[in-house]
Chain A
Amino acid sequence: MAILVSEKSRVVVQGITGREGMVRTRLMTDYGTHVVAGVTPGKGGGEVYEIPVYDTVEEAWEKCGPIDISVIFVPAALVKNAALEAIDAGVKFLTIVPDRVPIFDVLEIVRLAKDRGAVFVGPNTLGLVSPGKAVLGMIGGRAERAREWFRPGDIGVSSRSGGMTSAISYYLTEAGLGQSTIVHVGGDAVVGLSHPEVMELFEKDEQTRLVAMFGEIGTTQEERVADLIEEGRFTKPLIAYVGGKAAKSGTRFSHAGAIVEGTRGSYNSKVQRLRDVGVHVVESISEIPKVALELRGSSGR
């Protein structure tokens, strides 16, 4: 089934007439994403690649029918209002691509999303792909590349680094291992769906039999994945890489952070916690396909 997006999902692009919005809409439609409308305030009535453009998300909904997903490509300072607009209009899943979104803006989006039962990936995300079905955001760059790099299969990929999301998936493909859905959760300190939430979605997804995760130092995402496993809420085999071993330790936001989190967030804390609950932690990305093949036995593609 894959998670979050399929070829049937009805997608609106907010900021469709901008530089990135236009280029990435091309990628998405070429790949097979069902983009039904675009939104740019003030440019309603126009078209981009024969996709109608409206002034508001509500208008797009009225004229094109229900919208499942909004992909947002507007300048960082305008992201909050764009996201709130989509959630208010009834959209239940957003992909927020821009980076440099102020953190309090993100918290406000989180808050409204919670009230309305909506979720989002990002900000600062390359996006996500359900190979063979649909892509959201800019991952892959061009449709033919995305088709070459990502193949349908049963491995879920969740990564905090955009480039590494593609890299891990590509190396899996090279090893003959396809992916169910590939998610770049975003590079910021607070993101909509973080690793543990993505793991819960993969847990429920029948297509996904195994998950590969790219973690990084900072935040508590990886430790919370370990908590989930301990609580029995994530039971599928997990291969993890944690980046940032070489980074200088001790970069701490504040005393307050240390008081609440203790040593959580450090490289050692993450690796230790993950290993303790039986996660296959690898030292190099190239080991991910190898371990995946071992875990899968000889069932092949």
Chain B
Amino acid sequence: MSRLYEYQGKKLLREAGIRVPEGEVVSTPEEARDVVERLGRPVVLKIQVWVTGRAGLGGIEFADSPKEAEEKARKLLGKKIKNYEVEKVLVEEKLAIRSEYFAGLIIDDAQKSPLMIFSSVGGTGIEEIAQEHPEKVAHIPIDILKGLRDYEARNLLRRTGISGKLLLKISDVLTKLYKVARQYDARSAEINPMVLTEDGEVYAADCHIAVDDYAVFRHPELGIEIAREFDRPPSELEKIAYHVEEKDHRGTFYFLQMTDEIPKEDRYIGFNGAGGGGSMMSMDAVLNSGFHLANYCDTSGNPSASKVYRAAKIILSQPNIKGYFASGSGVASQEQYHSARGLVKAFYEEKLEIPGVIRLGGNYEEKAIEILAAYLKDIPAEVEGYGRDDSPEFCARRMKELIDKNGSIPHEIRPICDSDVSVDAYGFEIFTGKIAIDHSKCVLCTSKGCVDACAPGILKLLDDKPVLAVTEEDAKKGKCTECLACEIFCQFHEQNAIDIHLPIPGLKEYRNRLIKGTSDLKSTEEEKV
């Protein structure tokens, strides 16, 4: 779920006609001062980060004057709260609170409908309050075709002990809250606390709205950078991975780092799962063998070889991992040789030194295992391929044995080199990259096997040299499926004349910084000596 910040959520509520405290979001102490000058009232300053219980974490301050607001904002901005650094603070009028309530909308998987929940007690610790006072909490399912009717909202409120004018005011807020949730495809939308002020008005004093990741494409106006929930800001590597996924719709590629730093001596594994269930089962097996996971990654849903290649390159951008473990359900419907080719290209480029255990059970697993065995025998690392009859537990044990055997060497990050294909080589663009064929080398080629290897049949021979058999436009639009078969054939059986360039924006710079970081560290260590 893609969460919105409080200030973003409140903006949507305000536009829908729900009363929210007057104020503005700021990113400098001076702006905070200006806001208070304009408001001319005491204010509350609230950090805009995705944590709950901000007050207890020192993320809420009060100020009575512009000067005080400036000081308090200076204190809050830049502060580290859990995994977040405070970049924005919401400055808004302080409410004179008479009582607090809770309103929330969720999607209920059992009733398969939206559910509006209301509690006539609210505020911090709402979950416990609701348990202690079940008579103050009520909920109703909402008919998706009709929306929340005002009388339905009134009946809901009546059940929690709300009556009179207040019942009218709050029911109005509830029907509007549902409209906001529906309009913005919210998976959940909560107002907590909903506040009744001393002068009898109802305000949304805080709100949490999370948008359905799958519907983010409908709402460019929300400016959601990564349509996914994080309990911390996404890491740089995760951002790089997300953009790979975003640009290639073929199959899933999901990448999440599970630790900030991997000490050289610790036993972390680079993990490449396939499918949610199979990945979970495989992760359990890795953990049970005494390893930690550096990351979670899922390449499934019939991804192209190029996507698996990029996933492997990203996984291998984590220094000090001790092994590469790939495993899914074991009986995948997708053709597994695509994944095998993607891994071969990545491992070969990386001159992989840490061992790999690759469990590619499923359709064409024999061919997939054969590809790994045939093309990875020359790299420093030992890489073993397994199929559906080898359990994740067995594969995790093999991982351990291989790591112990090579003395548990940590993975070292290599710089990403620019391809050295000459600029005048024959070439064309493909869906997510470029193919270059050095025709001068093709003279020595006897088999012309690249043409046969090309499954979609987009290559043909012209004057004994491979060229496109379809238009350049078609190749780019996806006729070239990026199966990598031509390149691998040419590299291992012929003249190494084909280069498939699959850029990963940002990765080169990312690795360079890591490498520089470690060398800086090394030189300081040396100085100490």
Contact = CB atoms under 8 A, between A and B. Distances in A.
A27 to B, nearest CB: 9
A259 B187 contact: no
B70 interface: no
A187 interface: yes
B300 A163 contact: yes
Which residue of A159, A243, A257 has the most chain B CB atoms within 10 A of its CB atom? A257
Contact of B332 (A105, A166, A255): A166
Interface of B: 1, 102, 104-110, 112-115, 117, 119, 126-127, 130-131, 137, 139, 143-145, 182, 185, 187-188, 190, 192, 208, 210, 212-215, 217-218, 231, 252, 274-278, 280-281, 283-284, 287, 300-302, 328-335, 361-363, 388-389, 391, 393
15 contacts: A100-B213, A101-B214, A138-B333, A140-B333, A141-B335, A190-B107, A216-B280, A243-B277, A253-B106, A254-B208, A254-B210, A256-B190, A259-B119, A260-B108, A262-B131
Interface centre among B104, B107, B112 (most CB of A within 10 A): B112
Most chain B CB atoms below 10 A, which of A145, A187, A243, A255: A255
Interface residues of A, number: 62
Contacts of A170: 330-331, 388
A139 B102 CA distance: 45
A102 to B, nearest CB: 4
B495 to A, nearest CB: 33
B274 to A, nearest CB: 7
Given A163-B275, A164-B277, A167-B361, 10 more contacts: A104-B182, A141-B363, A163-B278, A167-B329, A167-B330, A167-B388, A190-B107, A245-B284, A246-B283, A253-B106
A246 B109 CA distance: 23
Given A164-B277, A167-B331, A254-B104, A141 B362 contact: yes
A107 B144 contact: yes
Contact of B214 (A102, A221, A257): A102
B107 A162 contact: no
Interface of A: 20, 76-77, 99-108, 110-111, 126, 138-142, 145, 149, 159-164, 166-167, 169-170, 174, 187, 189-190, 194, 214, 216, 219-221, 224, 243-247, 251, 253-260, 262, 284-286
Given A107-B107, A259-B117, A163 B1 contact: no
B503 to A, nearest CB: 24
Given A103-B187, A104-B144, A111-B145, A214 B277 contact: yes
Nearest to A106: B112
B110 A224 contact: yes
A255 B190 CA distance: 8
B26 to A, nearest CB: 27
Q: Which 4 A-B pairs have the closest CB atoms?
A: A161-B277, A163-B329, A256-B104, A163-B275
A258 B131 CA distance: 10
A259 B214 contact: no
**B300, B301, B331 — most chain A CB neighbours (10 Å):** B331
